Amino acid sequence: LAVANYRTGNVSVLLGIGFRDLSMSPQQIPLLKSIVRGTRLSEAEALVRSIEKLPTAKEVENIVFTEMKRIFPDLADQDAPA
C-alpha cells in the first residue's frame, strides 16, 4: 500500500495499519525518516488498536497527537490539533 498527502503525526498510524510506502516531497524526507526510524512497529500497532474504536475523528486526532508528543516532543507542535 502507498499513501501521499498526510500529516506527519499520522505516520505512526499509517505504519500501524500496514502502510510501508510513503510518498513525500524531498523537503519532508529528513523529518519523516526520523519519525519512521523512531517509531517501533509494535507501538504503532498498539496505537492503532487504541484508536480504532474511538467514536470521533477529534478523539483519534487527540490520541495520535498525544502519542506523537510523547515520542517526539520536538516535532509534535507542528502537527497540533486545531
Q: With beta carbons less than 8 A apart as the criterion, state whether 38 and 71 touch.
A: yes
Which pLDDT belongs to residue 20? Answer: 85
Which position has the higher pLDDT, 81 or 44? 44
* Lowest mean per-residue pLDDT among 29-33, 67-71, 72-76: 72-76
Q: What is the pLDDT of residues 17-47, one digit of tens each?
A: 998 888 888 888 888 888 889 899 999 999 9
| Residue 34 CA: distances (Å) to CA of 22, 28, 29, 51, 69 | 13, 10, 8, 23, 14
Residue 80: is its pLDDT beyond 60?
Answer: no
Which pLDDT belongs to residue 46? Answer: 94
| Residue 53 CA: distances (Å) to CA of 28, 32, 60 | 30, 26, 9
Q: Which three cell numbers stand for residue 76?
A: 509534535
